[in-house]
Structure 1
Amino acid sequence: MATEQPPHDNNWYEDTDEEVADQSVGLPKIGSFTLYKITPPLLDPEDLEMWIDEVRKTLRGHNLHNLIDKSIPWPTRDSPNRRKWKALSIQVRTWISSSIDYEVRRSIFDRGVRTVFADELVEQIKDYMEIESYGVLRLAMKSWMKCTRKQYSTNREFINAIRTKYRTLLGLKLGPAPYFAIQKMIMELMEVPDLKSFIVLKDNELDGIKNPVTTITVADFQRYCTSIEQHIKMTNADYASFSSR
């Protein structure tokens, strides 16, 4: 039976990874390489993809990259390469463990999920970071929704806080639309007697805009913040008290 030949072309980016029967195929000799810790260690969920790329690149340089590929099966327990595979997988797992932040590592291990081999640990890191990323989004949204004028000593502190929290949401690819951000700020400041007449004017401006949810931009939100801040400064209303609800 003829052996299948590779295509006669120059496309070296096509099928760069050969299919292998299991993770033990093509591994280097034990002790023939050195793995240096990745710095800085993985901490932020936003850095996960870049960190994974660095892990793969490092392991690929030593033909160890298949050890973190969960889609490739482990060798059977009677495989002639079983001892080498087990030793190298555990070695790579130890290296990966040393390349993540201590608190992240402790949190993953405290979950009690088995992470004896390299691909198991990588999967748990991905899973943990996905949950952490969701937690960051949830906390950011909760912080935004609970932001009120009463939490701050001055009116300008409140405006700066709501602006900062809104920017955080935008950076996390979350809403709400700028129109709702303006409305939230206006509703809170409407409770400040010394600002009420001016805030009513700004609210009326919003009412005059057609399709405000889709029309108003982030730049408009910034302009509203600046306009109200300037009015507060001109009228010395920064420490003006708010009414009780």
Structure 2
Amino acid sequence: MAARTQATRLPATDLVRMGAIEKLTTRQDFETWSFLVTSMLGQFDLEDLIDSTIPRPAEDHPHHDRWSRLSKKVRCWLTLQIDSSIVRELRDESSTGWSIAYADETYEVIRRIIVGHAHTKAKSTWKSAIFMKREDYGSVEQYVTAFRQHVKAANLLKTPISPFCASLLLLEQLEKELPGWTGSIEAGFRSDIAETMTENEFHEICCAAIDEGNNDNADRSKPTSDKPRSSDPNGNTSSNLSSSSNGQTHIQKHRMAPPKGKSARQYVAEWRAHEPQRTPEGNYNYNIVR
């Protein structure tokens, strides 16, 4: 079986019409723009032409000439999908030695212009993600969102943080705030998770962390319930706080006493003859008089 090249999956014809997509203008838009580029090219089986990890066909390849024409066509299309300021930088880069003759290298230079390629930037971005702290952000959602963005940026700059490592860093920062949840996530890791964890799984953990953090904040913000009041046998509720005629609040003292018209001896005899009843708090619920 012949080795795969950028010419392996070319369409049968050069007559492809690629529509316009939203132009790339800023660093924050690169991932969305890249997705739209890949989606558009994928309709015509041309997405391999911007993938520099796939080798180009040799000059004696039977489809080399068609690959060359289509690659240059995609290159031209790419330059029309970026802002004029980026076009100027692209032109400057080509004048300093960066080749942009074909689609794959043109796409790579655009990525370098937007995302950056200096070693110092890659290092600082990677360190920002690795050493990011939860306490530097007002909420779990803010921290998780910023951390995920930094991980993406580090990976784009070729200083990758694996999904598993990113998950461990995230869980470590949330451990004090969400101990039960982080413990359950780690306990559920499969034995080969370090080698097999995917980007989607990492993003699922991020989304779950945000939900858990929001739920925790909602629970903390609930008002505390009033202290339960005792009830007498007639269904009247009472509090151990009352106001006197002069408006001052004082604590009332409760004591056990027989009802009016019944002697203490009769009351005690009846009391002993009946099975004690308890309130939900575990206290005996006899007649309480003040």
TM-score (normalised: structure 1): 0.46
Normalising by structure 2, we get a TM-score of 0.39
Give the helix-richer structure, 1 or 2.
Answer: 1
Structure with more of its chain in strand, by fraction: 2
Larger Rg: 2
